[in-house]
Amino acid sequence: MTRYVAQRSIESLIVLAVMSVVVYGLIGLMPGDPIDLMINANPNLTPADAARLKALYGLDLPLYERYWNWLTAALGGDFGYSRLFSRPVLEVLPAYLGRTAILMGASFVLSVAIAIPTGIWAATRPYSRADYVINLLSFAGISVAPFWLALLLIMLFAVGLGWLPAGGMQTVGLDSLADKAAHLVLPVLALTLLSVAGVTRYVRAEMIGVLRQDYVRTARAKGVPERQVVWRHGLRNALIPVVTVLALDFGALFSGALITETVFAYPGMGKLIYDAILGNDFNMALIGLLFATLLTLVGNLLADLAYAKLDPRISYG
């Protein structure tokens, strides 16, 4: 087991390292570099000054040398300055990370809490009217443009009914928990609606498959109450692939968070990455992307471990 975890961790680190090279290279291909932007902002800068600045920041070096300098600094804990925030990126990051964690965590818990009972409800009545309706709604959920759903929610709850704020994190000048919570309702609702459909489909499909198994028939034949058959014999086995899918979908949930945060102007990681890329804040974009990748990789690793935990038949030597 320890050996397996170690092996998988090393693999994840390799993927992360390759990602850092790829993203670093890609960011070098984006329009403009920091000094060009300075020149645009300050017309008094002469080309000689610009060249000196480029040399100072090492921007005249070839790409691989620049990457190497970045990497050695990064491994020493120095990820550089953010252009947009004028502060070290590591100082900016935690607050944004925390806000995204709240958004994603709340949506994740809610969507699982809704999807598992709904999926089971549908699976225990396959091809009934209820199943048909749930199926249609799930198809609708995976087919709607995420930003459009968010816009519709704003139209309904913020513009039409006026119940909730349309965006942002808190009302300016007001620092109350209730106000912050009100600002969270629509983003969380949007992200939940987006992810619940996919999870429901998986739960339903897995559950239908499991309920066909011989051991379920045996349990029923022994006279085990139906509720116990479904929740104990059925769900426990159906959960195994569902957990994997949930962890693999972590990247998708993060993508959803990026869109939700952008539409609702909610200052989280997704919006930070988006703003950093558009604002030529390369250090920030780089660390944001690598962090998102790292979280996804950790999610996958945890899924594999949960897999072994839930299914005693699987053991990693």
**Would you tell me which residues interact with other proteins (CB under 8 A)?**
11, 15, 18-19, 23, 26-32, 139-140, 142-148, 151-152, 154-155, 159, 166-167, 208-209, 248, 251-252, 254-255, 258-259, 262-263, 270, 273-274, 277-278, 285, 288-289, 292-293, 296-297, 300
Task: Report the residue number, 81 or 274, with the smaller CB distance to other proteins.
Answer: 274
Task: Report the residue number, 90 or 277, with the smaller CB distance to other proteins.
Answer: 277
Q: Give the DSSP per-residue string, the chain.
A: -HHHHHHHHHHHHHHHHHHHHHHHHHHHTSS--HHHHHHHH-TT--HHHHHHHHHHTTTTS-HHHHHHHHHHHHHTT---B-TTTSSBHHHHHHHHHHHHHHHHHHHHHHHHHHHHHHHHHHHTSTTSHHHHHHHHHHHHHHHS-HHHHHHHHIIIIIIIS--S-SSSSS-TT---HHHHHHHHHHHHHHHHHHHHHHHHHHHHHHHHHHHTSHHHHHHHHTT--HHHIIIIIIHHHHHHHHHHHHHHTHHHHHHHHHHHHHHTT--SHHHHHHHHHHTT-HHHHHHHHHHHHHHHHHHHHHHHHHHHHH-TT----
Minimum CB separation of residue 274 from other proteins in Å reads: 6
Task: Report the residue number, 4 or 274, with the smaller CB distance to other proteins.
Answer: 274
Task: Report the residue number, 95 or 156, with the smaller CB distance to other proteins.
Answer: 156
Minimum CB separation of residue 222 from other proteins in Å reads: 25
Minimum CB separation of residue 283 from other proteins in Å reads: 14
Minimum CB separation of residue 265 from other proteins in Å reads: 8
Minimum CB separation of residue 295 from other proteins in Å reads: 8
Task: Report the residue number, 175 or 214, with the smaller CB distance to other proteins.
Answer: 214
